[in-house]
Structure 1
Amino acid sequence: MPNSRFMARLRWSLPALLLVVLAGCGQAAPELPLYRALADPPAPTTTTTSTTAPPQVMAQSVSRGPQLWPVVDNNIQLTGPPYTVADVVPAKIGVYDSPTAPTPLITMGNKTEHGLQRVFLVAGQDGNRYKVLLPVRPNGAVGWVNASDLNPYPVNYWIRVSTAAHQITVGNAGQIVLQEPVAVGTGGTPTPFGTFYLTELVRPIWQPYLGPFAYATSAHSDVLYSFMGGDGNVGLHGTDAPGSIGHAVSHGCIRVSNSGITKLAGILPLGTPLFVLP
């Protein structure tokens, strides 16, 4: 059963997400982004009525910093379940490149691009700092943040995706809650391997190819870097092409059935670890 903390967050977050637009992941056009979220709806086609557009939530989320984060741990080992996920508490949090670095290398906001609570998946603790997975390039990026800036809590859910078997398995501690075929990236645009986590949950309203729900993840395409302002972020979402499920056909995103993603949207909290395996 989902915990009360997550369900309370889900109740306030999903109505707001009805305004969020996703573009590109399910499209075949190579110039479109792998996964790009926009907060503005299409421009109105008439001026006969007065409407108020929803405010655009700017990413003010990541300060300017190095193009590629310098610390990578591709063999990171997580203890769990339960895993430790943590909310960012202050408006801005400093991210350090070592447990003892005197100054942060970048700062990140406590809200995501679309105004959701920013969370980190915690990998360990070094003194008064937590080692966390970062939702930045390159894949495997890890950093350290002050423990006093985080509100940690346990998460029992986990996701494993086998790209060779085209299969997703989702568990709650030792119980399997979903196992079904998925579509993954092609040979030219593969789904990256590694340990990642869920960073946002959106409900697309103009992109049927994303299905009814879509999670953004901390993973990034290893071959698609910058398209229409996006950065090749990998998503976990539904589809309007059910025949693609079970095949290697995407730009790197993980497509599940619409019934499957609807179930997951009701139970998986942000921060849930995602293990992508060959």
Structure 2
Amino acid sequence: MKKKRILNILMMGLISLGLLELLGHWMAWRASKKNPFPYVKTVKQDRSLRNENALWRKKIEALQPKELFIVVDTANNTLLLYQGHQLILRAIVSCGSGAILVDPSGKRRWIFETPRGEFVIQSKHENPVWVKPDWAFVEEGKPIPKNVMERLEEGMLGSYALGFGNGYFIHGTLYSRLLGKNITHGCIRVGDQELKKLYELVPLGTKVLIF
């Protein structure tokens, strides 16, 4: 009885396998009748995806400025100048350190970060003079002067400065060996050669994208 039961199970298994194989052949035959060249559908799908990709690429490109614009990556300390899609200039820069300074009274604090967002070049200065803000004197442990003339300091900003609002500038540096590091009080320091090119190429109103 046990052997007969095993034989019955084997027979049922063979019959099931045979039926599955026949079903597979029938489905393949039916599919070939509907589409004798199944690869054609794949090619059409691929072409459709390519067309859709090209359409989205055009939409994205339409959002990109056609004129000159500056991109600053504060994490990697790089500045890129583009003319549309073409890269015109690449510079290693120094951006904000993120350090915090609190004045002795505890009433004021400053966070030295480069602002992120979209800005425009609002001013251009040759041989700029730095007007030292209050935090510079607090940092040096000196009293804050009342006379504005005591705030003026030449040479600190390099040969050129491009202002993009709220007292922030793209300017030169006395510490070129520190370029590539986050060590500034929020401004963007650039090497002499790259800064000169920026000053010459970039007009007022140029977009500055900082992230």
* TM-score, with structure 1 as normaliser: 0.39
Distance 1:170 1:164 in 2: 17
- What pairs up with 1:1-278 in 2 under 5 angstroms? 79-82=63-66, 156-188=67-99, 189-204=112-127, 207-218=154-165, 220=166, 233-277=167-211
Whole-angstrom CA distance in 1 between matches of 2:163 and 2:127: 12
Find the structure with the greater CA-based Rg. Answer: 2
Displacement of 1:175 after TM fit? 1.1
Cα separation, partners in 2 of 1:212 and 1:158, compared to 1, 3 Å: same
Residues in 2 aligned to 1:172 and 1:196: alpha-carbon distance in whole angstroms: 17
Contact 2:128-2:158 within 8 A present in 1 as well = no
Q: Return the alpha-carbon distance in structure 1 between the equivalents of residues 179 and 188 of structure 2.
A: 9
> More strand per residue: 1 or 2?
1
**Percent of residue pairs identical:** 29
Question: Partners in 2 of 1:79 and 1:193 — Cα distance?
Answer: 19
Cα distance in 2 for residues equivalent to 1:203 and 1:79: 33
Q: Provide the rounded CA distance (Å) in 2 between the counterparts of 1:181 and 1:203.
A: 21
What is the rounded CA distance, in whole Å, between the counterparts of 2:169 and 2:191 in structure 1?
Answer: 14
Q: Is the Cα contact below 8 Å between 1:167 and 1:180 reproduced in 2?
A: yes
Which structure is higher in helix share? 2
Query: Separation in 1 of the partners of 2:128 and 2:206?
Result: 24
8 Å CA contact retained: 1:209, 1:241? no
| Partner Cα distance (1:275, 1:240) in 2 | 25
The number of residue pairs the alignment matches comes to: 114
Q: Which amino acid aligns with 1:247?
A: K
Inter-partner Cα distance in structure 2 for 1:205 and 1:256:
14
Q: Residue 209 of structure 1: SS of its match in structure 2?
A: coil
- Normalising by structure 2, report the TM-score: 0.51
**Residue 204 of structure 1: how far off its partner (Å):** 2.0
Alpha carbon RMSD of aligned pairs, Å? Answer: 1.6
Residue 79 of structure 1 deviates from its aligned partner by 4.3
Q: Secondary structure at the match of 1:161?
A: strand
Shift of 1:205: 5.3
CA contact (8 A) 1:184 1:248 kept: yes
C-alpha distance in structure 2 between counterparts of 1:250 and 1:205, whole Å: 17
Alignment gaps of 5+ in structure 2: 1-61, 100-111, 130-153
**Which residue matches 1:229?**
none
Structure 1 runs not aligned, ≥5 long = 1-77, 83-155, 221-232
Partner of 2:36: none
In 1, Cα distance between the equivalents of 2:185 and 2:128? 21
